[in-house]
Amino acid sequence: MTAYWISTYDEVLDEAKVAAYAELAGPALRAAGGTFIARGLPQQVYEAGANTRTVLIEFDSVEAATAAHDSPAYQEALAALDGGAVRDLRIVPGVH
């Protein structure tokens, strides 16, 4: 079943670290089978109105998304991020 990696950036503390992370994370996640569906700031917000950068990546399964997160290439990207942002990341199964 398809799964979605949803990451939100609640606060960016160091733009250079976020850029270093992005340079490594994109290729690592694509190599692990991820397809970037959306990324960036919202065009419209409702409810809590959080104007946070959001990234949505599609994977073939929860297992594939988890393996991508745990891969050495993505772990290298996380090391480059090194506290440069306060983020929330979740992997959610798709619906049939």
pLDDT 10s digits, 75-93 = 999 999 999 999 999 999 9
Q: Could you tell me the CA-to-CA distances from 53 to 33, 78, 85 in Å, in that order?
A: 22, 17, 11
Identity at 68, one-letter amino acid code: A
Q: How many angstroms separate the CA atoms of 48 and 10, rounded?
A: 13
Query: Which residues lie across from 81 on neighbouring strands?
Result: none
- Residue 96, pLDDT score: 73
Task: Tell me if the pTM is above 0.75.
Answer: yes
Domain boundaries, the chain: 3-93
Residue ranges for the chain with pLDDT beneath 50: none
At the second CATH level, the architecture of 3-93 is 2-Layer Sandwich (3.30)
